[in-house]
Amino acid sequence: MLDVVRLRVLVAVARKGSLTAAAKELHYSQPSVSHHLARLEAETGARLVQRVGRGIRLTEAGRLLAERAAEIIGRLDAAAEELAEHVGLRSGRARLAAFPSALGTFIPTAARLLSAAHPALRLELTEMEPPEALRLLRSGRVDVALIFRYDDTAPEENGIRMIHLLDDPSYLVCSGPAGELADHAESSWIAGCDRCRSHLLDICEKAGFAPRISFTSDDIVAVQALVAAGLGLTLLPGLALRAHRHPDVQVAEVPGSTRHVYAAVYGEPPHPPATEALLVALRKSL
């Protein structure tokens, strides 16, 4: 049986990159951190760290165990939080990771509704694109991950439950008349996050061309400013245009290019009270 305290030490070392920094974060002495690592190596029968000059680095086995340990500890901490809510030891909290255009549109309404219904519940918001938000969810560091996916996006991992919230059409954003997608086969394009970039490549391929991507930015204000300056064109979802619309761009909806927005949770219901309250607020905010 692996010792949870020693797993926490390994995770801290992996995150901080040194024994000294890990000891400071954990409020341990450095010899204590070294002792826990040595005992963990004895328990696992694997070499987890190696000396490099005056520092250390994790071995491949150490990196693998640290990744799994981070997920395990996250789930344990989440379980402790949920139990505390049930027994009334604290007022509780709901932790949400969401992508930028959701934070700029309906998430503030959801936060207001949640606060009105549960004044003692603390909402913690983190801005994250879907892959990073799902990693936080799997590790137990958030309770709900608000994500989007396209029809051509690879399936999410097992254990993640997806609650559909809305469908968000995409728009071609240009400095002049938008026309059809295929009209811009020779134009410069501006791409966004990895998931959006992948969809841009796919939808342009279906239109018969490969886009020449000249700029990459997740910032919808910057992207539209580039478009307005005539430096390229892009695809943006409706939520992004609701959050910010540059006065000098023109848009046209792109058929077959719709992203689907979900609230992702870990595991099956019943959900913890704070998580369920957050899900209710998200549905009502739309």
Assign 210 a pLDDT band (cuts: 50, 70, 90): very high
Q: How confident is the model at residue 25, as a pLDDT?
A: 85
Q: How confident is the model at residue 152, as a pLDDT?
A: 84
Q: How confident is the model at residue 89, as a pLDDT?
A: 32
Q: What confidence tens digit (pLDDT) does each residue in 32-78 have?
A: 888 889 888 888 888 988 887 777 888 999 899 999 888 888 888 77
Flag the least confident range among 63-67, 77-81, 137-141, 277-281: 77-81
**Separation between Cα atoms, residue 11 and residue 13, nearest integer Å:** 5
Report the share of the chain in percent with pLDDT over 90: 56
Q: What confidence tens digit (pLDDT) does each residue in 226-260 have?
A: 999 999 999 999 999 999 999 999 999 999 999 99
Q: Is the pTM of this model over 0.85?
A: no
**Separation between Cα atoms, residue 70 and residue 14, nearest integer Å:** 10
Q: How confident is the model at residue 126, as a pLDDT?
A: 96
pLDDT of 180 above 80: yes
**Separation between Cα atoms, residue 262 and residue 260, nearest integer Å:** 7
pLDDT of 149 above 90: yes
Between 184 and 91, residue with greater pLDDT: 184
Assign 192 a pLDDT band (cuts: 50, 70, 90): very high
Between 80 and 14, residue with greater pLDDT: 14
Mean per-residue pLDDT over the chain, rounded: 90
Q: How confident is the model at residue 24, as a pLDDT?
A: 86
